[in-house]
Amino acid sequence: MSSDVLLSLSQKALQLLQEDANKIEKLIEVQMENLTTRKCPLYEEVLDTQMYGLSRSIDFAIRAELIDEAAGKQILVELERNLALLYEAMNSGCEE
């Protein structure tokens, strides 16, 4: 394949992975907003499943050499940081 095609595929892969990450980010934001009700809905399983799926997609893109490992890990690190904040907020909300 030409380098232009590879570059285009890499950009598209990174864009799609970022879109998936943004969807998960939106789930996190919605849950953070809903914590004000203190009903502690359990979104953990859904978020964990979404994160696992994204991590597998990122792993595939890295192995297919569509994105570099650092870019893939950065997407996951940012989401994991936000998930940690969510779990912390959920746990403090459930203690009341």
| Distance from the Cα of residue 5 to its chain's centroid | 27
Contacts of 78 (CB under 8 A, 6+ apart): 21
Which domains does the chain show, CATH number per domain?
3-94 (1.10.287.750)
Whole-angstrom distance, CA of residue 62 vs CA of residue 71: 9
CB 76 within 8 A of CB 55: yes
What pLDDT score does 37 carry?
46
Contact 46, 90 (CB under 8 A): no
Query: What's the average model confidence in pLDDT over 7-24?
Result: 93
Query: What does pLDDT average to over the chain?
Result: 83
Which tokens in the block code for residue 52? 């696992």
Strands (E), 1-96: none
Name the pTM for this structure: 0.76
pLDDT of residue 69: 96
